[in-house]
Amino acid sequence: MLDIQKELSSVIKAGLKELFSISAEEVILQETKKEFEGQYTLVVFPYTKEAKMAPPLIAQQLGEYLVKNSSIVAGIQVVQGFLNIRLKDFVWLEILKQLQGQLNFNLASKGEKVLIEYSSPNTNKPLHLGHLRNNFLGYSIAQIMHAAGYEVVKTNLVNDRGIHICKSMLAYQLFGNGESPESAQIKGDHLVGKYYVAFDKAYKAEIDELIASGLDPEKAKKEAPILLKAQNMLLAWENNEEEVVALWNKMNDWVFDGFAKSYQVMGVNFDKTYRESNTYLLGKELVQEGLKSGVFYQKEDGSVWIDLTEEGLDQKLVLRKDGTSVYITQDMGTAQLKYEDFKANQSVYVVGNEQDYHFEVLFHILKKLNKPFSTGNYHLSYGMVDLPSGKMKSREGTVVDADDLMSEMIETAKERTLDLGKIDGFTEKESSELFHDLGLGALKYFLLKVDPKKRMLFNPEESIDFQGNTGPFIQYTHARICSIQRKAMEKGIQIQPIEDMETVELSEQELIYLLNEYRTKIDESAKNFAPSVIANYAYDLAKQFNKFYNELSILNEEEP
């Protein structure tokens, strides 16, 4: 296998030694920018001191040495301290031959299994805009890592137990009148969410009442009857009381049913779904184990803690004094379960950045417990999605509902496409699929083009553009390329895919160049867990293709 970089750097090393007596350990070559000649660039500034010579002179002499001594270098260009290297055509042909029959866009297997946990919804309310960013990030990073040569397992951890779930259940018991998704014609998750809101409303009314009757506000918050009832219900649930468990099952089924529909519209899926109600007990076992081995310690009141002050963190509770588990307890259990199920080398958690501290603590605990799954953990932490009015708050009703948003996007796509009048002859099914792809494409691209760790702004008023740096623009370009190639085939015209390419050889060179570039981007994207790298690269390519095809006059435009 011909390795261009290796070949070049070994000659460069020899040249540095012979011409300037510099022994370089490593030579870093970068891709040449488009506006300059050549494919690879060596930056010679670092050698100025040792060579005692001006950078352009070093580059010139080194370049001449390369042309003379390397069989693959066709020519050079010197710009200040930059040495641009142009390779001979046969090099590209050689590589093309090697790639023959394996022009596969996926990279060679890395022989590693990576587990990606994302989505992780609560079963007390429907999904919102923030969940969309999570789901799209998780799903796309899974696709990217697959393309980068990893074996990928997608998991979802559903938080289906706890006081917040009981709140919805209680409100349903009080005000529900036996309503069901069927009878109310509402998606299950939305119906349950409705009662979560109803609880909060009743709870606030009770607090106001108590305060009006002269109670201290802090006390009122803790002693509102409806809250006490919810707490009782949680205890009843933990004690497996039949009636409560039945209600819990019924309402969870509604929510799962609703989520399944949302996931389908989103186009995401999972290999395995875990439920917190099944993993928290295992977490408790791990706490007992760690207590024995001295990783945890017990306070007098019976609560169990870990001391991470040596690691620069705090002390952290892992089990309440009443023996019930907290969030981190169940996460320990889930980690073990996932390991037993899949034995992955890496485990990625797609969770918002408000939980940075939580995961730092979790990973430290796993290390201290000395578990095989204590390595390879990564928290893919992403920033919040803000609205122009500020942060989204469920209780204040300032959330953007995921289902609503997706429908609106599809509706917008429909309106714009109909305006353009480009779907004549489409069946109804084809049209609605097209609207779905365009609407979701716009939404996905919008949420993915931004560096995950940054906060981002979403303006629903302006909706999302279908022109410029957007998903539909890329989709449109793809459709246009296909259409042009189809027409060209019909007319028997041979199209050179890249500007300035006159011979078949050169277009093959460019093909490999693009393939290499694509693979580099995939690797970079996977390494940084950043779909934004690929997203922006795709836009860049689409723009280039569009510009080139704009100059082709043989064909008419076609529908996206």
List contacts with RNA (CB under 7 A): 28, 30, 32-33, 35-36, 41, 43, 45-46, 48-49, 79-82, 84, 122, 159, 162-164, 276, 299, 301, 303, 314, 317, 320-322, 325-327, 330, 353-358, 383-384, 391, 449-451, 453-457, 465, 467-470, 532-533, 536, 539, 543, 550
**Sign of the alpha-carbon dihedral angle for 109, 152, 130, 560:** positive
CB nearer RNA, residue 181 or residue 193: 193
CB nearer RNA, residue 186 or residue 405: 405
| β-sheet bridge partners, residue 386 | 457
Distance CA 233, CA 236 (A): 5
Give kind and range of the element (H or E) at residue 140: helix 129-147
Residue 354 CB, shortest distance to RNA, in Å, is 4
Distance CA 341, CA 259 (A): 24
The residue with tokens 């702004």 is 457
Residue 247 CB, shortest distance to RNA, in Å, is 19
CB nearer RNA, residue 262 or residue 277: 277
With beta carbons less than 8 A apart as the criterion, state whether 467 and 533 touch. no
| Amino acid at position 452, single letter | P
Residue 274 CB, shortest distance to RNA, in Å, is 12
Go through the chain and tell me how many residues it has.
560
Residue 52 CB, shortest distance to RNA, in Å, is 12
Residue 182 CB, shortest distance to RNA, in Å, is 28
* Cβ-proximal residues to 546 (8 Å cutoff; 6+ apart), any chain: 477, 480
CB nearer RNA, residue 177 or residue 239: 239
Instruction: Please report how many Cα atoms fall inside a 13 Å half-sphere around the Cα of residue 335, on the Cβ side.
Output: 33
With beta carbons less than 8 A apart as the criterion, state whether 86 and 72 touch. no
Residue 168 CB, shortest distance to RNA, in Å, is 13
**Eight-state DSSP code of residue 42:** E
CB nearer RNA, residue 113 or residue 320: 320
Residue 19 CB, shortest distance to RNA, in Å, is 19
CB nearer RNA, residue 334 or residue 508: 334
Query: Could you give the maximum distance between any two Cα atoms of the chain, in Å?
Result: 95
**Eight-state DSSP code of residue 472:** H
The residue with tokens 């529900």 is 176
CB nearer RNA, residue 407 or residue 550: 550
CB nearer RNA, residue 303 or residue 345: 303
Residue 462 CB, shortest distance to RNA, in Å, is 8
Tokens at 518, concatenated: 């694509």
Backbone torsions φ then ψ of 76, nearest 5 degrees: -135, 165
Residue 31 CB, shortest distance to RNA, in Å, is 8
Residue 22 CB, shortest distance to RNA, in Å, is 13
Helices 504-527/531-550 angle, 10° precision:
160
Residue 180 CB, shortest distance to RNA, in Å, is 25
**Eight-state DSSP code of residue 387:** B
CB nearer RNA, residue 143 or residue 231: 231
CB nearer RNA, residue 48 or residue 345: 48
Distance CA 363, CA 381 (A): 14
Backbone torsions φ then ψ of 511, nearest 5 degrees: -60, -45
| Amino acid at position 208, single letter | D
Residue 105 three-state SS = coil
Backbone torsions φ then ψ of 161, nearest 5 degrees: -140, 160
With b meaning 16 or more CB within 10 Å and e meaning fewer, what string describes 172-184? beeebeeeebeee
CB nearer RNA, residue 250 or residue 299: 299
